[in-house]
């Protein structure tokens, strides 16, 4: 394949606004719930389990059926195909059958003539349970040997021996909370019955192909009988990678059985109770290091709460392991990972996909080492970075694109880190109640699905005889700007304005067998697939023009003025029409498979990632030692997106990712009670950042020299997930501020999210002398 970088760039690299921006602000962007409804459309609501773990002794739905407006009620017995909405493991039920395994699990579905009628009726199910003891915490589950899969290990060398031989050692524990996606648009699907038992499903999903497969599986249809479509989501963040299937399958079942269109739109509470979240992690680390803080050996034990089924927990926990090194070289290392199966909602994909949880353990270890040696944590970080001769990860992949040292050096300068660190120290000398902290943390995030076969993308480009271009690919739009980036790529192939590329909804009947828009891979995979599709057409057109006008192919050029063939210049529209008259195909599919990646999960070695994306952030915070309240005062970021396809979109991803990460580590706290009930199931109790939480000073730059060493689409880099972990700087700065509150008290035991209560507890711990 030709290196796409050599193309003349017109649209690409320009900060073009999101293709839907004008529609967004005008209220004209259409989401699933906004679609015109068919006459007689029914509304669905799930009846939810009121126990975390119980046998279902009886299910009496007569009151539900009898409720006003109710048209039909469905439970497991009504499923014609398989009662399985899992991505691969076969353990997620559409409806609980015989046993409920988490509080809020769907047990039945009621469809009624109005949303209100359905939701009220859904509360009327009488379910008789025989309670079983629930396993709610990671620790309880592991103690009972309840896991979704066996523990995994990776590493090299004799860690015990190397730790013993190290001049200095620290060990610690870190609890890391989960996170709700809180996409503003909740889960929703609309299913419309088609002829011969086929079904069309509008789904707010990041993974239309999987929804298609699951709907077919549940209904006992073949994939070709199910079409899934998504125009846009009101946010996804991983929460609509596997979690949309339940709603789509429920709506499809009811639509096929009633012969009417069915919409299921979960209200916010049901959405938060029913669907999976980021994994909670518990981490233990022990590091051995020399007097300069350079790590000799490290042992990292990860354990996560996977919830009641597998979902994607295997890959998510693997990714936590892959990122427990972050930017740092561990000469001797063991990373051990346990995956607890609990009676809580099955944890799922969320921006970073386990990476954040792994990475923050590395940062905690750096802070701990620095504290032990009374060094600036930044110095310890810099000394431990990957570098020449120290460039092999714990999973035996050589790091060949390491730009972290350069980026950190630049950020130290641009953020004035040294001076500000001195000022923070000075502040802490002179202020009793408010303490400040500052930290610089880097990010290195591996790009590719670690399940190698998923790294493929497909596209379909149609050019019409008026020169307009319709672009379709397997990627989905959730706000991240994928569509505009890919449109820019296609526009450049023909040197036409990006506005002449029309974007259409993602449909399984246009581009089949796609991977989820996940793992930050959207523009890498679909951008290249669309590029290949467009290139196929362009090559045909060049060949045609050369023949038609009797010039050499090298003398055919697509320019902003039109198509140049020798001395002839035609508008793109006229040229396309001419090609049509001469029976040249103006449509092509395109395909892309990421090269050079491989991974052996048995040994946890290989090259799971095509490349790494890098970034670095400085955060400065203040902590109130009386109340635990805190504020992020200033943030400086440099982030590497390679050669940006669209700097405006990329900056948006960086800032949005950072703030979302900051929420995860500070205000966003999921609270479950001792019966396994989620108590924080609405924004009244679950607090994502607001505008006031954004630091007043926020300097964000894309790294100017950025260029992917691998031949990705125009040498760009993925940007969806990596910036999320820039927020680790906030957590580390808070740790510094807490330490300053009780100088000499030891290293703070601060857990995430660092709520005011946890901050105060960490300070109290230091003051009591057991830090």
CB of 667 to other proteins, least distance (A): 5
CB of 330 to other proteins, least distance (A): 32
C-alpha 568/C-alpha 102 separation (Å) is 69
C-alpha 134/C-alpha 674 separation (Å) is 9
3-class DSSP assignment, residue 771: coil
Spatial CA neighbour of 666 closest among 693, 637, 635, 699: 693
CB of 740 to other proteins, least distance (A): 14
CB of 680 to other proteins, least distance (A): 5
Spatial CA neighbour of 724 closest among 303, 364, 354: 354
C-alpha 202/C-alpha 194 separation (Å) is 13
CB of 755 to other proteins, least distance (A): 5
Phi, psi for 135 (deg, rounded to 5): -95, 115
Q: Name which of 559 and 690 has its Cβ closer to other proteins.
A: 690
Q: Name which of 292 and 414 has its Cβ closer to other proteins.
A: 414
CB of 68 to other proteins, least distance (A): 5
User: Following DSSP, what letter does each residue of 99-144 receive, concatenated?
Assistant: EE-STT-EEEEEEESSHHHHHHHHTT-EEEEEE-----SHHHHHHT
Q: Name which of 329 and 350 has its Cβ closer to other proteins.
A: 350
DSSP state letter for 513: S
Contact indicator for 497, 11 with CB cutoff of 8 Å = yes
CB of 341 to other proteins, least distance (A): 25
Contact indicator for 188, 264 with CB cutoff of 8 Å = yes
C-alpha 135/C-alpha 90 separation (Å) is 21
Q: Name which of 237 and 609 has its Cβ closer to other proteins.
A: 237
Residue linked to tokens 């004799």:
158
Strands of the 280-289 sheet, one edge to the other: 147-156, 332-340, 295-305, 280-289, 168-176
Q: Name which of 596 and 674 has its Cβ closer to other proteins.
A: 674
> HSE of 674 in the Cβ direction (CA atoms, 13 Å)?
0
- CB count, 10 Å around CB of 161? 12
Which whole-number Å values give the CA distances from 461 to 17, 526, 570, 580, 655, in the listed order?
A: 22, 12, 21, 15, 32
Contacts of 379 (CB under 8 A, 6+ apart): 293, 370
Contact indicator for 765, 757 with CB cutoff of 8 Å = no
DSSP state letter for 468: -
CB of 503 to other proteins, least distance (A): 14
Q: Name which of 24 and 156 has its Cβ closer to other proteins.
A: 24
Q: Name which of 26 and 222 has its Cβ closer to other proteins.
A: 26
Contact indicator for 110, 69 with CB cutoff of 8 Å = no
Contact indicator for 329, 384 with CB cutoff of 8 Å = yes
Contact indicator for 609, 717 with CB cutoff of 8 Å = no
Q: Name which of 532 and 646 has its Cβ closer to other proteins.
A: 646
3-class DSSP assignment, residue 462: strand
Q: Name which of 217 and 758 has its Cβ closer to other proteins.
A: 758
What are the catalytic residues? 721
C-alpha 631/C-alpha 697 separation (Å) is 12
CB of 683 to other proteins, least distance (A): 4
Q: Name which of 315 and 659 has its Cβ closer to other proteins.
A: 659
Contacts of 364 (CB under 8 A, 6+ apart): 172, 174, 283, 285, 732, 735
Q: Name which of 581 and 691 has its Cβ closer to other proteins.
A: 691
Q: Name which of 571 and 685 has its Cβ closer to other proteins.
A: 685
Contact indicator for 244, 204 with CB cutoff of 8 Å = yes
* Alpha helices (H) in 512-628, listed in sequence order: 522-549, 572-581
The count of residues in the chain is 771
C-alpha 735/C-alpha 360 separation (Å) is 12
Strands of the 630-639 sheet, one edge to the other: 434-447, 611-624, 630-639, 697-702
C-alpha 357/C-alpha 353 separation (Å) is 9
Residue linked to tokens 């060398």:
157
C-alpha 554/C-alpha 400 separation (Å) is 36
CB of 293 to other proteins, least distance (A): 29
CB of 215 to other proteins, least distance (A): 24
CB of 484 to other proteins, least distance (A): 11
Phi, psi for 238 (deg, rounded to 5): 100, -20
DSSP state letter for 150: E
């Amino acid at each position: 394949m030709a290196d796409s970088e050599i193309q003349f760039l017109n649209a690409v690299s320009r900060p073009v606004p999101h293709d839907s921006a004008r529609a967004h602000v005008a209220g004209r962007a259409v989401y699933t719930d906004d679609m015109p409804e068919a006459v007689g459309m029914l509304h669905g609501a799930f009846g939810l389990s009121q126990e975390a773990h119980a046998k279902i002794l009886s299910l009496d739905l007569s009151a539900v059926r009898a409720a006003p407006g109710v048209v039909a009620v469905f439970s497991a017995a009504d499923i014609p195909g398989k009662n399985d909405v899992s991505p691969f493991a076969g353990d997620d039920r559409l409806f609980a059958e015989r046993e409920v395994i988490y509080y809020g699990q769907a047990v039945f579905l009621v469809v009624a003539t109005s949303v209100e009628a359905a939701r009220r009726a859904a509360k009327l199910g009488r379910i008789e349970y025989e309670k079983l003891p629930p396993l709610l915490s990671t620790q309880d589950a592991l103690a009972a040997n309840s896991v979704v899969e066996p523990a995994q290990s990776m590493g090299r060398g004799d860690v015990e021996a190397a730790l013993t031989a190290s001049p200095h050692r620290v060990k610690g524990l870190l609890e890391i909370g989960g996170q709700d996606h809180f996409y503003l648009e909740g889960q929703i699907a609309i299913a419309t019955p088609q002829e011969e038992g086929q079904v069309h499903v509008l789904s707010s999903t990041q993974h239309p192909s999987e929804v298609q497969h699951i709907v077919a599986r549940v209904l006992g249809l073949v994939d070709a009988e199910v079409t899934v479509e998504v125009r846009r989501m009101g946010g996804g963040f991983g929460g609509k990678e596997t979690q949309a299937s339940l709603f789509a399958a429920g709506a499809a079942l009811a639509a096929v059985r009633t012969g009417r269109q069915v919409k299921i739109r979960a209200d916010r509470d049901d959405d938060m109770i029913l669907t999976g979240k980021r994994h909670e992690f518990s981490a233990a680390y022990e590091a051995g290091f020399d007097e300069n803080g350079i790590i000799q050996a490290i042992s990292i034990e990860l354990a996560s709460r996977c919830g009641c089924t597998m979902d994607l927990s295997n890959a998510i926990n693997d990714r936590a392991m892959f990122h427990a090194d972050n930017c740092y070289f561990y000469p001797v290392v063991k990373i051990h990972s346990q995956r607890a199966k609990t009676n809580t909602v099955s944890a799922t994909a969320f921006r970073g996909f386990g990476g954040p949880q792994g990475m923050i353990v590395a940062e905690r270890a750096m802070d701990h080492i620095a504290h032990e040696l009374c060094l600036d944590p930044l110095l310890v970080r810099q000394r431990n970075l990957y570098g020449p001769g120290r460039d092999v990860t714990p999973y035996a992949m050589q790091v060949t694109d390491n730009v972290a040292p350069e980026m950190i050096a630049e950020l130290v300068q641009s953020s004035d880190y040294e001076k500000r660190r001195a000022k923070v120290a000075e502040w802490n000398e002179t202020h009793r109640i408010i303490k400040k902290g500052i930290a610089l943390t880097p990010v290195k995030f591996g790009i590719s699905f670690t399940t190698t076969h998923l790294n493929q993308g497909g596209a379909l480009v149609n050019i019409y005889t008026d020169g307009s271009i319709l672009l379709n690919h397997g990627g989905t739009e959730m706000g991240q700007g994928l569509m505009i980036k890919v449109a820019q790529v296609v526009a450049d192939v023909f040197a036409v304005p990006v506005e002449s590329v029309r974007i259409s909804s993602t449909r399984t009947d246009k581009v089949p067998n796609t991977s989820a828009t996940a793992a930050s891979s959207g523009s890498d995979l679909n951008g290249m697939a669309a590029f290949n599709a467009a290139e196929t057409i362009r090559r045909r057109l060049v060949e045609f023009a050369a023949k038609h006008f009797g010039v050499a192919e090298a003398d055919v050029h697509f320019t902003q003025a039109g198509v140049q063939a020798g001395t002839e210049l035609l508008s793109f529209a006229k040229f396309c029409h001419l090609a049509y008259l001469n029976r040249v195909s103006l449509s092509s599919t395109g395909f892309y498979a990421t090269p050079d990646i491989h991974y052996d999960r048995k040994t946890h070695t290989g090259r799971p990632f095509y490349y790494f994306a890098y970034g670095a952030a400085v955060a400065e915070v203040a902590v109130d030692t009386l109340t635990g309240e805190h504020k992020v005062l200033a943030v400086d970021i440099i982030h590497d997106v390679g050669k940006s396809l669209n700097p405006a979109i990329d900056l948006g991803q960086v800032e949005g990712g950072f703030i979302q990460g900051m929420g995860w580590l500070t205000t966003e706290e999921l609270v479950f009670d001792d019966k396994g009930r989620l108590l924080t199931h609405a924004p009244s109790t679950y607090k994502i950042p607001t505008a006031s939480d954004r630091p007043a000073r926020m300097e964000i730059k894309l790294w100017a020299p950025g260029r992917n060493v691998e031949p990705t689409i125009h040498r760009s880099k993925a940007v969806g997930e990596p910036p999320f972990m820039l927020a680790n700087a906030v957590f580390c700065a808070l740790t510094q501020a807490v330490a300053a509150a009780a100088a000499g008290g030891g290293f703070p035991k601060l857990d995430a999210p660092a709520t005011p209560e946890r901050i105060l507890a960490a300070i109290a711990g230091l003051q009591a002398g057991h830090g």
